[in-house]
Structure 1
């Protein structure tokens, strides 16, 4: 397996690009600039809304229209909480949405010192509205965390996920291996209906029925 030295910020963008991400939404801030620095290099376009909540809803809309996971990038503290409303909506509507944000440095003391808009736990805050919220502990782990997100999008009921990267890891350069590519993501919000040919017999019977008709769909086709 090839090894490359990357900062955490570049590792995030490389993993996203490896999974086919070409569009992201978010607001640059002091703490996430190391992610933004690499977007253009990896061919990821970016849209900056007025508010992080708007970034979440824009990424949600992108996923609904394109059938590809939406990606949003926030900075720390209040910015992450602002996007929580959009994350909750994506969870309710079964939309594939990935939120990436910086977090407290790995070695920061547990005491409250006012650093990075301190919260008790960004990970726990997003865990309440996302399918999972994961805080990485090494640069190498970033690629695996992104792959986990895309594995979820492609194999389970599509719902939002959050990945937190400690601030010191974003700018730390460490050797990393090749990106593990997850299986291609499926439709993002319940578009698991069959082909027109497969549905035609049921539709014909429904139209010919003398009264209301109920069509049941196997659970595995609507996950």
Structure 2
């Protein structure tokens, strides 16, 4: 715990960056698993999906260590409660990645129409991009603090946040397109197949949703 306290003494965002690095590793591993699922390499996908689960556990442990170390006596440039809320939201990105990995593991060799697989892969790519941008955002927030809240660095942060919001909006459209495709292929898909596909899409959307929530918390911290 002393390690986290020392990091907080330097900046309230140094421990969040350490946690974010694990979250980033989690979503990047999911990205690899999703690509292998798309290609039909289920054995390779399963190995990576299990690793996603392990990394999410690591992120959870780090989150708890940080929370236990964040003393109310520490003087910080931002509100302690805001830091804790952001940490919770950032951790939810890893939780959503783990949920997707679990759905990938549920059903192995299956026939999903190509255009459905295409749009799921696109959704995954975009959602994971949002999660990667959250990592950039928390690193940039540390720069904002160190710069004394310079306008130049704040504008860079807002640019990242707008990118995240744009991705989340784009995925909303993909969600609708996927539902239309599921009904288009209803004769080819069993009820279970449709449920499986829609839940993979739901958990992928959750990654970008949680990324947007985390970005919004950064925006609130800057506005304060």
TM-score, structure 1 as length reference: 0.26
Q: Counting strand residues as a fraction of each chain, which structure ranks higher?
A: 1
